[in-house]
Structure 1
Amino acid sequence: MNATPELLRMPDSEESRGHKPAAELRFDATVPRDLVHRAAIAEVFVTDSARVGEDPTNDEHTFEVAAQLPRAHVVGERGGSYDFLLLVEVLRQSGVLVAHRYLDVPLDRAFIFSALNLTISGLEALRIGSRPAHAVLSTTVRPKRNAAGRVLGFDFTGTFWLDGEAAIVGSGSLTFVTNRAFQMLRAGNRKKLDGRSPRHPQLLRSAPSLVGRRDASNIVLTEPSVSESGTASAMLVVDTDHPHLFDHQLDHVPGNLQLEAARQLSVAAVAKLHGLPAESLVVTAARAEFSDFAELDLVTKAVAEVGDASFDGALGAVTVPVSITVSQEGHTVASLAIEVTQWS
């Protein structure tokens, strides 16, 4: 099966090579951690934000969000470049901040990412320099409101800049629900699954070298099984003590862990099939649709199908698309597409 993410390549223009924020943004302190739903201050990366545009005719709003990227982080193992998982977290925090600070979404709301689509638009922009990078997300959001005008969620598109260089373009959808509604959703999901499966067994992590990682604590898969036909599979290893993936207590397997599982499985499969070192492979695009909650105490399986390699002119590199399905008890909880490429 060939799986091709919906790529959103940025043109190689003067604007994309030297972006100047429309607002004066600060990078000297982070925002309060409750505004981005983090428990640890060290896990907050967003520093400032500003509304820079608004179109009342179609309820469209444009914001800029600033963040500082740490040169070293628990998930940043590649050394020379900023880790994909870290960039995803900055984008998530930006969306949460915008909702609370500008769209009057109460702090006690639960946030659900139903879809995410990201594409690396410039690999060189991801290289770590001699100081922490100043990141700016320029994003446009289109709120979804109820009859009373309360925001229930929003769709967004945006460009992520690192020290003025275009790094990522993306889009996605976010939904906000009350705690009571969230508990009803969770109860409904548990009712469908309880009694149908044994509790989650203890699983052994894959060797880091197989999935492009160095630190065993960041491994979220069992050892992948990769067939010559291009199919790969593994079980998710869910460590609720991980300081980044479980910064605070959750009652389900979070989306960023599922993204990391898809990344690790894709890297392992492409490395095995094409005879490449796993540590040389990076994510250049990711699309995710989260259709249901993944329960912490049930076995979670990921299955990948590797597509055909092709040359991407915008990146100047050969890329390989991989489609991944994450399931519990034969029920799909997430569908993802990952594009990987070799980069040194």
Structure 2
Amino acid sequence: MSTQVLEDAEASVVPAVEYGRTIERSLAHRSAISEVFVTDVRTVRPMAVTAGIHLPLTHLYYSDHQEQPRLHDSLLLLEAGRQAAIAGSHTNAGVPVGTMAIVHGFRFSLRNLDALRIGGEAGEPRIDTDFYGKTARHNGRYRKGRLEQRIHMGDVHVGDHSMDVLFLKGDENEILRHSQRGTPAPLSSDLTEVPGALTRVDPARVGRANPLNVVVAGPEFTEGAVTAVVAPRLDNPALFDHAYDHLPAMTLVEGARQLALLAVGAATGSSAPGYACGYEGSFHRFAELDAPLTATARHTPEGDGRHGVRVAFRQDEQEIAELTVTVVDAAHLNGS
């Protein structure tokens, strides 16, 4: 296999990666082997790695989309980037296994969408990651960090991802959670439903076929906006691979995507699901499992078949997160 060259000033040579099997699941912070998408992690230079990625074609969650032509799920690529970053932080950046990475903000965007067509021959996927951070003087631990990633399908640059995180040990996370709640948080494994989950939308309205993958309920439409309850199924093994004491960030991103599709559909009158190709967000507080979580999406047309949708999440009368989703109309996917 030939080597590649990173797109940076150092022109570092990227070592070849293997695609024969996925990495040890603990390195990706996953419980199920089927939810691991990184096949190999290799050091490029200090604080930089490259990773091979497996993109499953028949996944219960990531393959359940109705847009045409069919593209690899943008959230699958985002999750693969998250896993590559976590694994690389353990193998290359000196972050101990067992450390929690709390996301403060991120930005993710895709380009050259033709290379993401399922069944195409764009080449094997690869994610290159650079880590940035400073260690504490008294113990040498990283407390905060930033990563920047470039996503490739073969030789085609298809996306970019950056993320700012806070690193916590288990006891530090418990202290933070207790300081925010004042009471112990329930686990997703102890609950059967989240509040407001009885009126989830029809799957087709959010570009899905399987009701298990619908995460929004009771939408209310006003001029230029749609508000709904964020109510994922706790038995969805992709969103809840293990027990959580909060709604994971990726679940909020999925909620933002589904609300964005509802908002774009309402604004354009189209029933054809678009494709979410970009996300930018910040997280201010944990999303609790035992209190209603609502989100409001506001649509802004950007021209040329693209739409920007800002989604604000509120719980207990506080804004806990905000995300902006970029959606491409289904009619504009050809030649993107």
Partner of 2:33: 41
Partner of 2:210: 215
What are the residue-to-residue correspondences of 1:189-268 with 2, within 5 Å? 189-191=180-182, 200-227=195-222, 229-268=223-262
Q: CA deviation at 1:131?
A: 8.0
Q: CA deviation at 1:133?
A: 6.4
Q: Deviations over 1:61-90 (max 9, x none)?
A: 222111111112112223621112211110
Q: Is there any run of 5+ residues in structure 2 with no aligned partner, and where?
A: 1-6, 186-193
Q: Is the 8 A contact 2:14 2:44 kept in 1?
A: yes
Q: Is the 8 A contact 1:81 1:127 kept in 2?
A: yes
Partner of 2:74: 84
Larger mean Cα displacement after TM superposition, 157-166 or 32-41: 157-166
Q: Deviations over 1:296-328 (max 9, x none)?
A: 1110000111113323xxxxxx21101111110
SS at match of 2:82: helix
Partner of 2:191: none
Q: Is there any run of 5+ residues in structure 1 with no aligned partner, and where?
A: 1-14, 55-60, 312-317
Partner of 2:160: 169
Q: CA deviation at 1:331?
A: 0.8
* 2:55 maps to amino acid: L
* 1:254 maps to amino acid: P
Q: Deviations over 1:15-45 (max 9, x none)?
A: 8xxxx97111000011100000101011111
* 2:49 maps to amino acid: F
What are the residue-to-residue correspondences of 1:138-149 with 2, within 5 Å? 138-147=128-137, 148-149=139-140
Among candidates 91, 100, 103, match of residue 113 of structure 1: 103
SS at match of 2:296: strand
Distance 2:180 2:260 in 1: 28
Partner of 1:135: 125
Return closer, same or farther for 1:212/1:34 CA change in 2, 3 Å cut-off: same
Q: Report the identity percentage.
A: 28
Partner of 2:57: 71
Q: Deviations over 1:76-116 (max 9, x none)?
A: 22362111221111011011101111122222212211111
SS at match of 2:216: coil
Q: Is the 8 A contact 1:70 1:133 kept in 2?
A: no
Q: Is the 8 A contact 1:113 1:175 kept in 2?
A: yes
Aligned positions, number: 308
Partner of 2:307: 320
SS at match of 1:203: helix
Task: Tell me the TM-score normalised to structure 2 length.
Answer: 0.86
Q: Is the 8 A contact 1:68 1:132 kept in 2?
A: no
* 2:171 maps to amino acid: R
Distance 1:232 1:151 in 2: 40
Larger mean Cα displacement after TM superposition, 239-248 or 107-116: 107-116
Distance 1:138 1:304 in 2: 32
Q: Deviations over 1:120-172 (max 9, x none)?
A: 11111211126896321112110232113222232111210123322211211
Higher relative CO (Cα under 8 Å, sequence separation at least 6) belongs to: 1
Return closer, same or farther for 1:320/1:107 CA change in 2, 3 Å cut-off: same
SS at match of 2:85: helix
What are the residue-to-residue correspondences of 1:41-60 with 2, within 5 Å? 41-54=33-46
